[in-house]
Amino acid sequence: MRFTVDRDVLADAIAWISRAVPARPPVPVLSGVLMEATDAGSVRVASFDYEVSARGEFAADVDEAGTVLVSGRLLREIAQALPHKPVTFVLEGSKVAVTCGASRFTLATMPVDQYPALPEMPEQSGTVDGAKLQAAVSQVTSAASRDETLPILTGVRMEIEGSNISLLATDRYRLALRELPWKPSHSDISAVALVKAKTLLDTSKALGAGDVTVALSSGQGVDLVGFEAGGLLTTSLLMDGDYPPVRKLFPDSSPITAVVKTTDLIEATKRVSLVAERNSSVRLSFSAGEVVLDAGQSEDAQASEALECVLDGDDITVAFNPHYLIDGLSAISAEYVQLGFTQETKPVVFIGREGADGDLVDNFRYLLVPIRITG
């Protein structure tokens, strides 16, 4: 095998596939990156950890076709460190020589025949705008659980109905729902898939802003999802288990609503929470024309701040985990946020609003459970 490629092209491709190289591989060959130089003047690269696969292809000057398996971690670090000059790969016996300008590295190869077969990309289900997908995934994944003792809640539930995709995530204390349009291959498509939140977030960021092809395999049930854009392809096994019926947690109506400028509420929460002790809350007291935030129950430090708000309904006071509150508010792109209340102890719905009296931006909703106020 012998080929030459631009350094930046190589670095981008290796950065993409390195995401599926496991930090602690169950077998040594999974720590490798598979590289196949073809007579057609391209190089295919791939990685796999039995759960997620990543593949890419780039143009290169191929003098001799061949396939090698080399350390993914070393190759990524080398590709990032090389000078901005053409890079030449040459297979020399059981080693690969990597030359770039005055730099030369030699990498040991691993047995290609021991590398597992990569999963096939499922049949295309439709396409979605990459920028919209990335924004939607970023909004909902903040609500996904990080607790591996409840693995099903570390995923994002994708619900596909016709030309609409709904993304849901929850950690039991908060719930995020984002809906976005897409172009399905079949107008009557209906599918549900549960994807690890980290996998979905990393993939959406890496694929960029162009059209992204989404592919779901089906049989007894959907068990594999694939994404492809710009020559980059990834597949992931779907998570098993029954996701809780979280949609019904959103109330049908909110008898009390308050509208506040989103950025003002974020900044005020950050300031008053400076005196909030660990696991303590920030209280929000809503009355006609204003909301007062306060935190700090000890004699050492307290903080409060008042903001303008438009309240429709009775006065109400609620308390939130400040980090969860900031996460939800930061995910709202609208200038204003509407908080919908039923009771002081019931979950509160956050929806973006274009202007204090403007239309609701209801494609994203965030539900946050308040903390019980004592004393």
- HSE of 248 in the Cβ direction (CA atoms, 13 Å)? 3
pLDDT at 219 over 90: no
Angle (CA) 233 236 238, round 5°: 150
Rounded to an integer, what distance in angstroms lies between the CA atom of residue 220 and that of residue 239? 14
pLDDT at 330 over 70: yes
Give the pLDDT of residue 217. 84
Q: How confident is the model at residue 333 (pLDDT cuts 50, 70, 90)?
A: very high
Q: Note the helical H segments in 118-175.
A: 130-141
Give the pLDDT of residue 59. 95
For 2-23, what is each residue's pLDDT tens digit? 999 999 999 999 999 998 999 8
Q: How confident is the model at residue 270 (pLDDT cuts 50, 70, 90)?
A: very high
Q: How confident is the model at residue 124 (pLDDT cuts 50, 70, 90)?
A: very high
Would you say 345 and 247 are in contact if contact means Cβ atoms under 8 Å apart? no
Please tell me if the domain spanning 124-247 has the same topology as the one spanning 250-368: yes
- Segment 202-217 mean pLDDT: 92
- Segment 344-367 mean pLDDT: 93
What DSSP state is assigned to residue 253? -
Closest among 129, 308, 159 to 222, alpha carbons compared? 159
Q: How confident is the model at residue 375 (pLDDT cuts 50, 70, 90)?
A: low
What superfamily would CATH give domain 124-247? DNA Polymerase III, subunit A, domain 2 (3.10.150.10)
Rounded to an integer, what distance in angstroms lies between the CA atom of residue 36 and that of residue 67? 4
What are the backbone dihedrals phi and psi of residue 134, each rounded to the nearest 5 degrees, phi first?
Answer: -60, -45
| Whole-number percent of the chain with pLDDT over 90 | 87
Rounded to an integer, what distance in angstroms lies between the CA atom of residue 255 and that of residue 100? 67
Give the pLDDT of residue 220. 46
Better pLDDT: 311 or 222: 311
| Least confident window among 21-25, 92-96, 269-273, 285-289 | 21-25
Rounded to an integer, what distance in angstroms lies between the CA atom of residue 165 and that of residue 45? 31
Parse the chain into domains and list their residue ranges.
Answer: 2-114, 124-247, 250-368
Structure tokens at 337: 């946020």
pLDDT at 339 over 80: yes
Rounded to an integer, what distance in angstroms lies between the CA atom of residue 2 and that of residue 43? 10
What are the backbone dihedrals phi and psi of residue 131, each rounded to the nearest 5 degrees, phi first?
Answer: -65, -40
Give the pLDDT of residue 276. 84
Q: How confident is the model at residue 279 (pLDDT cuts 50, 70, 90)?
A: confident
Q: How confident is the model at residue 218 (pLDDT cuts 50, 70, 90)?
A: low
What DSSP state is assigned to residue 168? E
Give the pLDDT of residue 358. 87
- Segment 23-47 mean pLDDT: 95
Give the pLDDT of residue 137. 97
Average pLDDT, the chain: 94
What are the backbone dihedrals phi and psi of residue 209, each rounded to the nearest 5 degrees, phi first?
Answer: -100, -5
pLDDT at 222 over 60: no
Give the pLDDT of residue 183. 97
pLDDT at 365 over 50: yes
Closest among 256, 262, 248 to 340, alpha carbons compared? 256
Q: In what order do the strands lie in the sheet with 348-353?
A: 190-196, 155-161, 164-170, 174-181, 360-368, 348-353, 336-341, 256-261, 310-312
In 49-94, beta strands by DSSP E: 52-59, 61-64, 66-71, 87-92
Domain 2-114 has CATH 3.40.50.300: no
- Per-residue buried b or exposed e for 248-284, using 16+ beta carbons within 10 Å of the residue's own CB: eeeeeebebbbbbbbebbbebbeebbebbeeebbbbb
Rounded to an integer, what distance in angstroms lies between the CA atom of residue 247 and that of residue 176? 10
pLDDT at 73 over 90: yes
Give the pLDDT of residue 357. 87
Task: Note the CATH architecture for domain 250-368.
Answer: Roll (3.10)
pTM of the predicted model, to two decimals? 0.90
pLDDT at 209 over 90: no
| Least confident window among 51-55, 97-101, 207-211, 285-289 | 207-211
Residue 262 Cα distances to 25, 156, 265, angstroms: 44, 25, 5
Would you say 371 and 356 are in contact if contact means Cβ atoms under 8 Å apart? no
- The residues, any chain, with a CB within 8 Å of residue 32's CB and separated by 6 or more, are 21, 47, 69, 70, 71, 72, 110, 115
Give the pLDDT of residue 296. 84
- HSE of 350 in the Cβ direction (CA atoms, 13 Å)? 32
- Segment 18-41 mean pLDDT: 94
- The residue count of the chain comes to 375
